[in-house]
Amino acid sequence: MLLEKLAGIEARYEELERMIADPANVSDYEKVAEYAQEKSELEALVTQARAYRAALDELEQAEALLNDPDMADLAREEADRLREDIPAMEDRIRRLLLPKDLRDSKNVIVEIRAGAGGDEAGLFAADLFRMYSRYAENHGWKTEVVSMHETGVGGYKEIVFEVRGRGAYSHLKFERGVHRVQRVPVTESQGRIHTSTATVAVLAEMDDVEVEINQADLRIDAYRSAGAGGQNVQKNETAIRITHLPTGIVVACQDERSQLQNKTRAMSILRAKLYDLEQERLREEQDTARRNQVGSGDRSEKIRTYNFPQNRVTDHRINISSHNLSGVLNGDLDDFINELATREETERLQAVGV
């Protein structure tokens, strides 16, 4: 089955080579660029496929020489090497065959909201924001706050921020869900441990051409953005609130200097939310059971617990704990995210069935 699939891919690759070289297509730059893009996407897979086919042929030839007294030792050594190499080649090919998630290379919009726990939940939301900011910094990505609603004690009722960098979504998509913290709040005089929560939503930033929005479906309101007081109070209505009437989704942006900038940023967030909503609908149609898998978008799922008394962070999806809580809150998330990515890839490989 694997060889049949690879044969079809190689045939398509060779067809693309012919079409790119065809003089009849030379003047059609868009068509040639489209062919070249598809060929580029297949190139790594075709290279691996050809090496795999060559290895199978070499193994067949080596096995045919096992009964030759003069060549048996050398043939056996070659056959053993190939039998060891071929499974690894098959594994690489299966990974290359996995369908690409077009969002994986996108910038992301992260929304953190305080859940149960009052002021302590808001403080935990601030901790999560710092954690993701430092994680982004460790990977060379840029963060920029879109909007925030502070609690007045150093926390956030809600904070929305953008993370810009290639591959940001492919890493941060595993963070969506409910995060739980167990610790003694600074306001607790009796030293009792409280449990608080915050929810994290991760959205891929989408381009205009990828999500079409009917302007008639929008209600756009302008209002004065909140200032720090005194001379900093905004006298103009620069803040923007956009309501998508068919879905009821509301997006507000107030941190930019002009109404146009806030509207542009709010539309970007709205596109991301609508795309995410459509992807969730498609997932549910395809297989209801998949809603419980990694990356399902089920924001009601408790995904991780941060336990301060035991200096432990536990990811409940993969049942892995770290006893370096301060390191995790400083952005050391790679152990969790890499394991979640590996599990997702394993599940997708099983689904491909090759």
Q: Write out pLDDT tens, residues 132-176.
A: 999 999 999 999 998 889 988 889 999 999 999 988 998 999 999
Percentages of the chain per state (helix, strand, coil), in multiples of 5: 50, 20, 30
Closest C-alpha among 195, 180, 210 to residue 303? 180
- Is the pLDDT assigned to residue 304 strictly greater than 90? yes
pLDDT of residue 291: 37
Of 161 and 352, the one with more pLDDT = 161
What is the reported pTM?
A: 0.64
Provide the pLDDT confidence category of residue 236 given band limits of 50, 70 and 90.
Answer: low
Calculate what percentage of the chain has a pLDDT beyond 90: 48
Q: What is the mean pLDDT of residues 237-263?
A: 87
Provide the pLDDT confidence category of residue 346 given band limits of 50, 70 and 90.
Answer: confident
Please check whether residue 214 is in contact with residue 193, taking contact to mean a CB–CB distance below 8 angstroms: no
Q: What interhelical angle do 72-97 and 29-64 show, nearest 10?
A: 150
Q: What is the mean pLDDT of residues 306-331?
A: 95
In CATH, the architecture of 108-347 is 2-Layer Sandwich (3.30)
pLDDT of residue 62: 93
Kindly list the domain boundaries of the chain, sorted by start residue: 2-97, 108-347
3-state secondary structure of 303: strand
3-state secondary structure of 83: helix
Instruction: Give the sheet arrangement for strand 218-223, strand by strand.
Output: 218-223, 239-244, 249-253
pLDDT of residue 114: 93
Q: How many CB atoms lie within 10 A of CB 87?
A: 9
3-state secondary structure of 291: helix
Distance CA 75, CA 61 (A): 8
Q: How much is the mean pLDDT over the chain?
A: 85
Q: What is the mean pLDDT of residues 44-53?
A: 92
Place of tokens 């403080």: 123
What are the strands, taking DSSP E only, across 99-248?
108-114, 142-150, 156-164, 177-183, 194-204, 218-223, 239-244
Q: What is the mean pLDDT of residues 293-320?
A: 76
